[in-house]
Amino acid sequence: MRPSDINKLLERYNLKAKKHLGQNFLSDQNYINKIVDSASIDKNTAVIEIGPGLGSLTQKLVEKAGFVLCYEIDSDMANIIKDTIEAPNLVLINQDFLRANVFDDIKEYLGQYEEIILVANLPYYITTAILIKILEDRLPIKKMIVMMQKEVADRLSGNPKTKEYNSLSVLVQYYTNVKRLFEVAPDAFIPRPEVVSTVLELEKKISIETKPLNEEFFLKFNRLIFSSRRKTISNNIAKGLNIDKKIIAETLVENGFRADIRAEALSVADIIKLSDLFYQIKKED
């Protein structure tokens, strides 16, 4: 969709982009093609799109995919898509993705597809919440091609001992292989966002080499050790798990970690190892 098409559509429906819903419409056909091509979709693939907006990506997705399931919170946008994209292989659910029962929807619409790929120019104000929902709920999505604000992409691909590395980096790198595809300048959108955007590929790991003893505990432990960044993990663990500081220090040192170590110095594998150790201590409590 070109800038003039976007402006015409908004005018025709007497609408303005809603900032509070993160509406920045992609208006550069090269990037639209690049995003859809990166997904390597064919008629055997089902696609989930979050936030189709005026349909820039959706139009191309319905041409390539076997089926496209979209979630759009804004009924104005949902009506435009219904008016302008006529495709038998498209279902649009006018709902907040964060509240949707995606498992049920997948069963209803995408049951026959072996491969589900998510493609989205994400609403930036809830990028993190969307990724947490997809990963922690373990939605059966093989690969995600997702555009987000560059700063968030830096976190997802962040390495230990950098300021970008946090609990979200660990969560995403635990479940997926993260690949940075390309950056998109603010000029490619209407209205122009204030930030640079990055498109990432997040491919679900086929098998996770080292699984924690208890995945729920690991996810909680990961959030906990990063919860107060200026504190050592010892302080965060003592507070969050109610374990004596002496026991925490002993456990850390016996397993080759400094007693005053901070979460950002730990690799994903270290966090799994520590999660297992403290899971066992709590179990014996």
* Binding footprint of ligand SAM on the chain (CB under 6 A): 21-26, 50-54, 56-57, 71-74, 77, 96-98, 121, 123, 126
What is the number of residues in the chain? 285
Min dist CB 146 to ligand SAM, Å, is 11
HSE toward the beta carbon, residue 115, CA cutoff 13 A: 16
- Residue 76 CB, nearest approach to ligand SAM (Å): 8
Instruction: Give the other-Cβ count within 10 Å of 101's Cβ.
Output: 10
Q: Using CB atoms, what's the residue nearest to ligand SAM?
A: 51
Nearer Cβ to ligand SAM (30/112): 30
Phi-psi region of 16 (alpha: psi -120 to 50; beta: other; left: phi over 0): beta
Which C-beta is closer to ligand SAM: that of 54 or that of 199? Answer: 54
Unique residue bearing structure tokens 């005026």: 54
H/E stretch holding 24 reads none
d(C-alpha 9, C-alpha 3), whole Å: 10
**Cα gap 238→167, rounded to integer Å:** 18
| Least distance (Å) between residue 122 CB and ligand SAM | 6
What are the structure tokens assigned to 164, written together? Answer: 């970008």
The DSSP result for 148-174, as a single string, is: EEHHHHHHHTPPTTSTT--HHHHHHHH
Nearer to ligand SAM, 73 or 266 (CB): 73
In the bound state with ligand SAM, the residue whose beta carbon lies nearer, of 45 and 56, is 56
User: Could you tell me the smallest distance in angstroms from the CB atom of residue 249 to ligand SAM?
Assistant: 43
- Shortest gap between Cβ of 7 and ligand SAM (angstroms)? 13
For residue 193, the 8-state DSSP code is P
User: Of the two residues 9 and 274, which places its CB atom closer to ligand SAM in the complex?
Assistant: 9
Looking at the Cβ atoms of 123 and 212, the one nearer to ligand SAM is: 123
For 157, the token pair is: 């691909």
Q: Do the Cβ atoms of 271 and 221 come closer than 8 Å?
A: yes
Closest distance between ligand SAM and the C-beta of residue 199, in Å?
11
Distance of closest approach, residue 138 Cβ to ligand SAM, in angstroms? 20
**Shorter beta-carbon distance to ligand SAM: residue 196 or 269:** 196
Report which secondary-structure segment, H or E, holds 256: none
User: CA–CA separation, 200 vs 114, rounded Å?
Assistant: 22
